[in-house]
Every structure is written in structure tokens, then in C-alpha cells.
Amino acid sequence: MREKRSRGLTDAQTGILLILPGLAVFIAVILFPFIDAIRISFTDKSMLFPDWEYVALENYMEVFRDPYFGKTMLTTAVFVLGGTLLPFILGFIWAILLNQGFKGSELLRGITLVNWIIPGIAIGFLWSWIFNGQYGVLNGVLKALGGEGNTPWLGQTSTALLCVIIARTWQMLPWYMAFLLGGLQGVSVEQIEAARIDGAGNWKCFTRIVVPSMKNIIILILAMGLVGNLQHFDLPWTMAQGGPARATTTLSLEVYNTAFKNWDMGKAATIGTIWAILLACFSIVYLKQVRDSD
């Protein structure tokens, strides 16, 4: 018996053995490329030439000296906040409506989810067509209503980013709706009814009972939404390619342009590293929330 026990594995050893395959994949697919990207950010590596040299912090200095980097950060912030809060608010309103359980609400829920299934590139082309200045649907409608109908929505800085945020809202609204609807169904009906008996109105019930009850899920989806929008590439690229006058250039587009249009892998890795640090901040909030809700 004693011999058998000494040959057997402890729980900790078994655990380590079980996570080893996953750990190996994680190291090969995520950790190594990430660390390699950080290493490349200290080099002058180009896509065109095999030779490269370490350049210390030169790429970082160059990025922070770039007069447009601040603008790119601001555009990213506006896109991330707009692209998260707008679908969140609309998704919440839609979830509350669907939660009333009226006739046809289940069908509507299913139809709403269709947006989320369509690939981002297709959504980008669809909304580019809607907002096109020459033959777009929006201008066509405006013209039919008596307007001029010749606004280049994606060709002016005042509206281009808003157009992209609207498209992103249309794409992501079902995702927020699905999570929030799940959360709403867990809110205690008795508590709301008790509050109503005490004279609470809809707004008070919503802010004092519904929102606190859903606090964990709200923080969770907002954190996930922020991370998703920080990473997002498809819509700003397909709809406006970062223009006009850099109005839709977010960090993800800047990395793409630097790496694959300017061939500067070192600088692209530098922007990518800064981007990853920002992502890490939101990820920490997300992970903390996951741990707390557990």
C-alpha cells in the first residue's frame, strides 16, 4: 500500500499534468508571439528586408513624437466608448421591451440576433452603401423627403466616425441584448412588486432594483464590450479605411497601416504593445469582475 501511494501522483501533480497541453498551446500561440512582438518593438524590422537591428526605445520615441498619435488615441477612445455605450443603452431598452413577454417577443428576439451573425466585413459594405454620398440609401431617403440628399456621410470628418459607430451599434446590439435579457430574467419580480406597492415608479424600480441586481453582468459586458471595440478592425477599415483626414483611424488601423502599408514592423509592434497595455487595463477589470461574481 505504502509503495503504491509513493508511486501515485498527488492532486497538485495531476493538476499540473492536466494543464500542460493547454499551457503548451497557450505558450506557442499566445505568449510567445506576444513576447516576440514586444521584442520586435525594440528593433527596426521591416517586412521588406531580412536584416534588422535593435534600436532601443527609438520606435517608442517616434510614436509619441508623431503629431497624429494623440488624435489616433482620441479617435480610438471615441469609437470604443461610443461603440460600447450606444449599443449597450439601446440593447438594454430592447431587452426590457422583450422581457415583457408580449406576443411575438420570442420571434423578435430571434430576428434581432441575425445582425450579430453577419460577418463584420459584410456589415461594413452594407453600411458603406447606406451612407454612400452618391448613391446611398440614406441620401435617397433624404432626397425623397425633400432634402438635398448629397451629403458625403463617410467623406467628412464630422460624420464619418459617427457612421462607423452606428454600424457597430447595429452589429453589436443583439449581443448586449442577449446578455441583458438573461440578466433581467434573474431580477426578482417580488422585489419590484413590493417596491411598486411602496409607491416606486418605473425609473426608481429600474435604478434601485434592476440595475443593482444586474450590477455584475453589466460590468462584465461593458468590460468585454470595451475590450472588443479596442480590438475592432473590420468596420472602420471597410467603411472608411481610416479616413477622411484620419477621422476613423483607430489603433487597430494604425497598426495595420504601419505594418502592411508602410512595411515598418518595428513601429507597428510598438503601437501594438501600447495597444496591448490599454487592453490589459480593461481585461483586469473584466477578470476581477469574473472572480468577484464567482
Partner 1 sequence: MNRKRIMAAGICAAMMGTAILGGAQSAFAEEQTNIVWAGWSGEEEASKPLFQHMMDVYREQTGDEVTWVGFTWADAAQQLLIRNQGGEQLDISQADISIFNTLAQANILADWNEIVGEDFMKETFEESYLEVGNIDGKQYGMPWTMAAITMVYNPEILSAAGWEKPPVTMEEFEQCMADIKAYDPEIIPYALSTKDVTCGADFVPWAWTFGGGIWDEEGNVIINNEAGVKALDWYVDMLNKGYVTMDVGRSEARQMFAQGKVAFYDDAVVAKSQIISNGVAPDDVVNVCSAMLRPVEKEGDKPQAVQWGGMLVVYEKSEYKEQAAELAKILNSDEIALYYFENGGMPPVTKSAAANETVKNDPYINTFIESTATARLEETARMTNANEIKTILTEEIQFALLGQKTSQEALDDAAARIEAAG
3-state secondary structure of 264: strand
Q: Per CB under 8 A, does 117 bind partner 1? A: no
Q: Per CB under 8 A, does 191 bind partner 1? A: no
Q: Per CB under 8 A, does 49 bind partner 1? A: yes
Residue from 242, 226, 244, 225 nearest 234 by CA: 242
Q: Per CB under 8 A, does 71 bind partner 1? A: no
Asked if residue 42 lies in contact with residue 55, where contact means CB atoms within 8 angstroms, the answer is yes
Q: Return the residue of 243, 276, 279, 283 that touches partner 1, per CB under 8 A.
A: 243
Taking contact as CB under 8 A, which single stretch among the options 116-124, 152-160, 171-179, 189-197 is the one that binds partner 1? Answer: 152-160
Amino acid present at 61: M
Which residues have a Cβ under 8 Å from the Cβ of 210 and sit 6 or more positions away? 184, 187, 192
Q: Per CB under 8 A, does 48 bind partner 1? A: yes
Q: Return the residue of 47, 61, 137, 194 that touches partner 1, per CB under 8 A.
A: 47
Q: Return the residue of 8, 10, 134, 197 that touches partner 1, per CB under 8 A.
A: 134
* Distance from C-alpha of 98 to C-alpha of 167, rounded to nearest angstrom: 22
Q: Per CB under 8 A, does 156 bind partner 1? A: yes
Q: Pick between residue 196 and residue 246 the one whose CB is nearest to partner 1.
A: 246
Taking contact as CB under 8 A, which single stretch among the options 36-44, 116-124, 128-136, 284-292 is the one that binds partner 1? Answer: 128-136
Q: Pick between residue 52 and residue 102 the one whose CB is nearest to partner 1.
A: 52
Which string of DSSP letters, residue by residue, matches 2-36? HHHHHHSPPHHHHHHHHHHHHHHHHIIIIIHHHHH
Residue ranges binding partner 1 (CB under 8 A): 47-49, 67, 132-135, 150, 152-157, 241, 243-246, 257, 260-263
